[in-house]
Amino acid sequence: MNFESLNTSLQFLKPEIAVSILLVVVVLFDLIFQNNKKALPVISITGLLVTGYFIIEQFTLNGYAFNLLTADAFGAFFKLIVALSAIFVILFSISSSEIIRCEDRQGEYYTLILGMVLGMFLISSATDLILIYLSIELLSLSSYILAGFVKTVERDSEASLKYVIYGGVASGVMLFGISIIYGLTGSTNLYTINSILQSAQLGGFTFIFAGFMVLSGIGFKISIAPFHFWTPDVYEGAPITITAFLSVASKAAGFALLVRFIKITFFDSMSESGYWILLNVIDWQSLLVLLSILTMTLGNFAALWQENLKRMLAYSSIAHAGYLLLAVAVLSNEGLIAVLVYFSIYLFMNLGAFFVVMLIANKIGSEDVDDYKGLGSSVSFLGVALAIFLLSLAGLPPTAGFIAKLYLFIALIDANMVTVAIIALLNTVVAYYYYVRVLKNLYLVRKEVEMEPVGVSFGNKIIILLLLIPVLVFGIYFTPIVNLAKSSIAFIGF
């Protein structure tokens, strides 16, 4: 390796390098100024903003780094989502009572969040199975620790332990699948595997088995139905900031990986109307449609019975993973645009819902739906914000959530998958019930105990508005995100 090739490769890795340097800086700052914990979030956010600049630069790039990573607009889009949600989560952490209680370990907290961000950046641009595995592990190991960050609370430790055990099994299965694929094709590079699959008649049961094993590892990250067991427990137990981060960023990275894995490895040709014709090795479409219907039905129906709001949002995020998987299952450019639009809206509404739940939990010390009875008048601003976020998650017309679902259904109808579209539509109807139940408790139920009005600090109001305005604006004026999504579905090499 010489300087020129290293230099050209590093050109495509600027966001990753920026996050790595930021991570080291945060550790060193925490070591040198041990008593100055207030500066840590400021440093992290500044660093992430710089990273964001490099990510925006990547939208126009097209190239490989070390034959392991690609720099393309698709990866940049997901990196932007990850970086944005990381910034919001760090902003949440400043006022989270759970995190403030662990004053002496704040340095580790921000370092581990940045570790997760680095892992997700690598996941969303990796095209080599070994790097895919390593970056998933980097993401997982950081999130295992963060899930149990408040180690004095039993619920947190339980969440962390369950996450480690399920995660260990999932990554083991995935590694086995990767080893089988390597054994069959002799390569770990997705592009090479694709060309081998195109020339040789591989396939049969072994390859399907291996593909399913890799899918189970990715499915664990995005919590689709047979691999979702960890989600409710971990989401309920982990600190709310981490739950919000896992539900948005970790899922985004997982979907980026899933799309890249399917589209690069099994790609045959592109039809004129933008449908991908995949190699006849694994019937991805039927498999993904089956899994997504299972996922959304299970997520929505399980959410109906939940008393804890965090747990309910966990099941709702499983259901949303189902919708997103359906958009992937269309296997077309239209579907991919739907995924990107969905994610950019899901980011704001889901983070917003978790943030409001966190602020209310800070005050009343509970996340139970029953404790929200008659709170509407005492949490005036928070209540309205929560109502808008939940209605957007449900997909009601004036909010952005409707646009996300609209694009999904357009892609489905365009692909003639009407039956599936109807099942998804019925699912959204079921989802209305549990979102609206929270609002009913807030506004229509009589108060049991008198409560003082819950105030919100000025900074938190601004954070909520930063999340609320996109949810409302994108519901009416959504051309910019759709255009951004359209311009960022181009993959390198295709």
Partner 1 sequence: MLTEFGKIFVFFLTAIIFVVIALFVAKLIRPSRPTKEKLTTYECGENPEGSPWVKFNIRFYVVALIFLIFDVEVVMLIPWAVVYQQLGFVGYLLGAIFLILLGVGMAYEWRKGDLEWARPKIEEPIFTKSIPPPEIQKKLTLTE
Binding site residues, partner 1, CB under 8 A: 1-3, 6, 24, 27-28, 31, 34
- Rounded to the nearest whole angstrom, what is the least distance from the CB of residue 122 to partner 1 in the complex? 16
From its phi and psi, is residue 66 left (phi > 0), alpha (psi between -120 and 50) or beta? left
Q: Tokens 């963060």 — which residue? A: 146
Q: Which is nearer to partner 1, 24 or 476 (CB)?
A: 24
Q: Which is nearer to partner 1, 28 or 476 (CB)?
A: 28
Q: Which is nearer to partner 1, 23 or 81 (CB)?
A: 23
From its phi and psi, is residue 493 left (phi > 0), alpha (psi between -120 and 50) or beta? left
* Residue burial 8-34, b: 16+ Cβ < 10 Å; e: rest: ebeebbbbbebbeebbebbeebbeeee
CA distance 123 to 139: 9
- Rounded to the nearest whole angstrom, what is the least distance from the CB of residue 28 to partner 1 in the complex? 7
Q: Which is nearer to partner 1, 138 or 224 (CB)?
A: 138
- Rounded to the nearest whole angstrom, what is the least distance from the CB of residue 240 to partner 1 in the complex? 27
Q: Which is nearer to partner 1, 28 or 165 (CB)?
A: 28
In 126-203, which ranges are continuous DSSP H helix? 129-147, 154-185, 190-199
Q: Which is nearer to partner 1, 111 or 399 (CB)?
A: 111
- Rounded to the nearest whole angstrom, what is the least distance from the CB of residue 5 to partner 1 in the complex? 9
- Rounded to the nearest whole angstrom, what is the least distance from the CB of residue 113 to partner 1 in the complex? 17
Contacts of 406 (CB under 8 A, 6+ apart): none
Q: Which is nearer to partner 1, 27 or 290 (CB)?
A: 27
- Rounded to the nearest whole angstrom, what is the least distance from the CB of residue 395 to partner 1 in the complex? 46
CA torsion 134-135-141-145 (nearest 10°) is 170
Q: Quote the tokens at residue 126.
A: 């990796």
CA distance 474 to 341: 10
CA distance 177 to 172: 9
Pair 324, 255: CB distance under 8 Å: yes
Pair 364, 450: CB distance under 8 Å: no
CA distance 249 to 121: 10
Pair 367, 361: CB distance under 8 Å: yes
Q: Which is nearer to partner 1, 27 or 56 (CB)?
A: 27
- Rounded to the nearest whole angstrom, what is the least distance from the CB of residue 179 to partner 1 in the complex? 19
- Rounded to the nearest whole angstrom, what is the least distance from the CB of residue 20 to partner 1 in the complex? 9
Q: Which of 279, 348, 285, 341 minimizes the C-alpha distance to 489?
A: 341
- Rounded to the nearest whole angstrom, what is the least distance from the CB of residue 208 to partner 1 in the complex? 24
CA distance 153 to 161: 13
Q: Which is nearer to partner 1, 27 or 50 (CB)?
A: 27
- Rounded to the nearest whole angstrom, what is the least distance from the CB of residue 51 to partner 1 in the complex? 19
- Rounded to the nearest whole angstrom, what is the least distance from the CB of residue 40 to partner 1 in the complex? 15
Rg (CA), the chain: 22
Pair 70, 127: CB distance under 8 Å: yes
CA distance 286 to 208: 13
Strand partners, 267: 278
Q: Which is nearer to partner 1, 7 or 152 (CB)?
A: 7
Q: Which is nearer to partner 1, 34 or 457 (CB)?
A: 34
- Counted residue by residue, the chain has a size of 494
